[in-house]
Homo-oligomer: A and B are copies of this chain.
Amino acid sequence: MEVDEVVCLPKLSRVAVCGGTHGNELSGVYLVRELVKVDKKAVEKKAEEEEPASVLMVLSNPRAIQQGQRYVDTDLNRCFTHAILNGPMLDTAPYEMIRSRELNGMLGPKGSPEAVDLVCDLHNTTANMGLCLIAYSDCDWICLHIFRHLQRQMSGIPLRYIHFDVSNKESYSLDSVGKHGFAMEIGAQPHSVVRSNIYTAMKLGVQHMLDWVRSFNSGRIFEGGFVDVFTMVKHIDYPRDSETQNITAAIHPQLQDRDFCLLHPGDPLFQTFSGETLTYKGHQPLYPFFINECAYYEKGIALSLARRKRVMVPAIRVQTEQEQRANEPRYTSEEEE
Contact = CB atoms under 8 A, between A and B. Distances in A.
Given A33-B273, A34-B274, A251 B196 contact: yes
Contact of A253 (B34, B200, B246, B273): B200
Contact of A195 (B194, B197, B199, B251): B251
Interface string A173-199: 000000000000000001111111101
B126 A250 contact: no
Contacts of A251: 195-196
B192 A250 contact: no
* Chain A at the B interface: SS class: loop
A294 interface: yes
A253 B193 contact: no
A150 B74 CA distance: 44
A58 interface: no
Interface in A1-40: 30-31, 33-34, 37-38
A271 interface: yes
Interface of A: 30-31, 33-34, 37-38, 68, 126, 190-197, 199-200, 246-247, 250-253, 256, 271, 273-275, 292, 294, 297-298
